[in-house]
Amino acid sequence: MEKNNLSKSIETFEKAKTLVPGGVLGIRRPYNFVAGEFPIFIDSGKGGRIIDVDGNEYIDYLCGYGPIILGYRVKEVDDAVIYQMQNKGFCFSLSQTLQNTLAEKLNELIPCAEMSLFVKTGSDATTTAIRIARGYNDRTKIIRCGYHGWHDWCCEVKGGIPEKLYEDTLEFGYNDLESLETLLKEHGADTAAIIVTPFGHPLAADMKEPAEGFLEGIRKLADEYNTVLIFDEIRTGFRVSIGGAQKYYGVIPDVAVFGKAMANGYSIGAICGKAEIMQAAESKVFISSTFFPNSLSYVAALKTIEILERDNVLDEIWAKGRKYMDSVQEIMDEFSEIGGKISGIPPMSFITFKKDAEKKYKARRTNFYTQLIRRKVFMQPFHHGYIMRDHTEEDLQETVDAIRASFEYLRAND
């Protein structure tokens, strides 16, 4: 398969490196894909597809790293935002009543929600939840499991962060209750919160569902040590179920954070939780930002949630995702010697390769994702993908066909 023409993307990137550190931000840099094979700059998106600055059109499964649940440029959502912009305005010194409307809606949908705070990003949300927990119980330690953003207390890359800013953050393993219990036995009296991604989506690794009793065990330990249990639902919220993974798995945290799919691409994060705990944000801890009350994102979230409920979008996504995963698994079985794997659940899944002593899996991963992008399917080698509403049956079949062709290439060239 011939390489895509990326000349304008690469030219723009070279210029960008003289203007912006790294050219583009963080995980969007070429080394997080396959350098020289993936586009770097996008021109537009519509439905389930994106077009790069060179005019190449791709079926997109990265979905903006998760916010796009319906599709790109959904008129009904954008029209609601434009109406607010043109007829009401959106950035004031005081709050608009849309705040209350959205908070009431979250109370209706999310099991743990009695009160909510609204921010702009997932990292804002997790950090706010941690501050609220520490303010609530006057404790210091945080015990974490999963990726929780880029702020000092949890950032994976420690450059520029003094050790004292994360020395009170401890880690336990997903589906490893024993490691959590060990930490609590030592630090439980000073543990402000346990924060966990209820569905396991570790960095660049296979996705994992909670083992039987894992989430229930965390809930029990949090109660035993009287610490705040926080579910990081930035990725699972409004995608695994309308009420989040807590609704789907039936385990209710004290506080949960949401974002991404909540507003179909508009920037918003939410911290939802028990009123007794959330009240710490009234006066005991300080939470404020010029742009947190910006109501365009509230409008987008309300309209997105309305569409998700009205059109049973998540049922549709689960059905599409299940069919896709089953088809891909058939390919994995047929080409079993290649060591391909698909992990996850229908709304969000990830194709990886089994590690081997000779480390052939690294070349297989690179070659697979190179072949896939050349066939105009946009997935990320180190991050799971998503199914959105606007992925058509034709998109999904074209994707399965591209995956098969890419595995045929691996078999012929392994």
* Global pTM value: 0.98
Please give the order of strands across the beta sheet that includes 228-232. 115-119, 269-273, 255-258, 228-232, 191-196, 141-145, 169-171
Provide the CATH number for the domain around residue 13.
Answer: 3.90.1150.10
What confidence tens digit (pLDDT) does each residue in 372-409 have? 999 999 999 999 999 999 999 999 999 999 999 999 99
Q: What are phi and psi of 143, to 5 degrees?
A: -110, 120
Are 84 and 15 in the same domain? Answer: no
Q: What is the pLDDT of residue 5?
A: 98
Are 95 and 38 in the same domain? Answer: no
> Considering only CA atoms, which of 91, 46, 69 is closest in space to residue 237?
69
Are 163 and 226 in the same domain? Answer: yes
Q: Considering the domain boundaries, does residue 359 fall inside one?
A: yes
What confidence tens digit (pLDDT) does each residue in 304-360 have? 999 999 999 999 999 999 999 999 999 999 999 999 999 999 999 999 999 999 999
Are 254 and 349 in the same domain? Answer: no
> Considering only CA atoms, which of 320, 318, 319, 329 is closest in space to residue 404?
329
Q: What is the pLDDT of residue 336?
A: 97
Q: What is the pLDDT of residue 414?
A: 86
Q: What is the pLDDT of residue 239?
A: 98
Are 301 and 322 in the same domain? Answer: no
CA distance 324 to 120: 32
Average pLDDT of the chain to the nearest whole number: 98
Mean pLDDT, residues 95-116? 98
What confidence tens digit (pLDDT) does each residue in 128-180 have? 999 999 999 999 999 999 999 999 999 999 999 999 999 999 999 999 999 99
Query: Could you say which of 310, 345, 362 is where a domain stops?
Result: 310
Rg over alpha carbons for the chain, rounded to the nearest Å, is 22
Provide the CATH number for the domain around residue 269.
Answer: 3.40.640.10
> Considering only CA atoms, which of 69, 150, 80 is closest in space to residue 303?
80
Query: How many other CB atoms are there within 10 angstroms of residue 317's CB atom?
Result: 24
What confidence tens digit (pLDDT) does each residue in 216-260 have? 999 999 999 999 999 999 999 999 999 999 999 999 999 999 999
What DSSP line would sit under 185-246, residue for residue?
Answer: HHHGGGEEEEEE-SSB--TTS--BPPPTTHHHHHHHHHHHTT-EEEEE-TTTBTTTBTTHHH
DSSP summary character for residue 305: H
- For residue 48, pLDDT over 90 is answered with yes
Query: Could you say which of 275, 310, 345 is where a domain stops?
Result: 310
Are 241 and 213 in the same domain? Answer: yes
Are 43 and 173 in the same domain? Answer: no
Q: What is the pLDDT of residue 168?
A: 98
Query: Could you say which of 253, 288, 310 is where a domain stops?
Result: 310
Number of domains present in the structure of the chain: 2
Structural domain boundaries, residue 208: 75-310
